Structure 1
Amino acid sequence: MNGCPLRRTCQSYVIGTKTKLDISSVKLPKHLTDAYFRRPKRQKKNRKLEGDIFAVKKEDYVVSEQRKEDQKLVDGMIMDVIYKHPEKSFMMGYLKSLFSLKTNQYPHKMVF
């Protein structure tokens, strides 16, 4: 939809709106729990065995195949709900739009 990855989001960063989607038909896999979204713990390295401190490379994060499959599964279920919505074209545009505020606009005074 809008390229948003499957991840846990803090509630303080979410703005509640009157626009609703009935996602009661979406059944998430049982392995999508809080533990699934935690960062993996890094192993501590022995500093005495290291040679040059600047020669150490950071390991880049690589998305696992399981996460890719989970993303496709959840996206498919959510898109099915959006396509069944009576105002499908409105919902597609609404969910793709970026939220921004201008001068003298306050989210707590808006109704959307």
Structure 2
Amino acid sequence: MSAADAKPQTKKFGKGERTVPHHSQKASRFYPAYDEPSQKKARKSSKPTKYRESLQPGAVLILLAGRFRGKRVILLKQLDQGTLLVTGPFKVNGVPLRRVNARYVIATSTKIDLSGIDSSTLDKVTKPEYFVREKKSKSEKGEEAFFKQGEKPEAKKPTSARASDQKSIDKPILAAIKKQDMLASYLASNFSLRHGQRPHEMKF
């Protein structure tokens, strides 16, 4: 008989009666030494990310944070959880294919035609596992790594697959850039503010 099916029993004590719960319904005399973790209930339901109307594929963006802050890049696609896929192109300003937070970019009015990009390659680089970092081996974390601390670290080089993906995506973009005057130099230059300039009053 399960605890749900067990019913309380009525027992007589002297002249009166008393309802006693079934032994399966009684609280245990012992309690666990450690608290069992319980999953917290989310108070707010997750909603899809709403992007600004200016963040459309092909738009030129200005990065405000991260390693390449101040660089101008081209928006390729909107990803999940408020991230964007962008490229320099690499040959113009050294910015590779990477994901950036949509909060830390300024969208400009300049747009570039992306119709020449291969859709299969673009779908490949938008997958989350494409940007997963390689795990270090045990030899790199052990004694060898300890004795190599004083030496200059070797520069990381992209794999041949990533380099080919970068070239295949940048090739049609570079062709579109050449069609517009001064666009290559605009993308190669860094964004900066001078004294007295207010970004909220500027039009990009």
TM-score normalised by structure 1 residue count: 0.72
Taking the aligned partners of 2:145 and 2:189, their CA distance within structure 1 comes to 45
Give 2:197's aligned amino acid.
Q
Structure number with greater CO (CA < 8 Å, separation at least 6) is 1
1:31 aligns with 2:124: yes
Structure-2 residue corresponding to 1:62: 157
Structure 1: gaps spanning 5 or more residues: none
Taking the aligned partners of 2:168 and 2:134, their CA distance within structure 1 comes to 23
Higher strand content, 1 or 2: 2
- Displacement of 1:53: 7.6
Higher helix content, 1 or 2: 1
- Displacement of 1:51: 5.5
Q: Deviations over 1:18-50 (max 9, x none)?
A: 1111223323403212221222344568x9xx5
Give 1:109's aligned amino acid.
E
Structure 2: gaps spanning 5 or more residues: 1-91
Structure of greater Rg: 2
Sequence identity (%): 37
Give 2:191's aligned amino acid.
F
TM-score normalised by structure 2 residue count: 0.43
1:11 aligns with 2:102: yes
The alignment yields a C-alpha RMSD, in angstroms, of 2.8
Give the match's secondary structure for 1:19.
Answer: strand
How many residues align? The count is 106
- Displacement of 1:71: 1.4
Taking the aligned partners of 2:175 and 2:146, their CA distance within structure 1 comes to 50
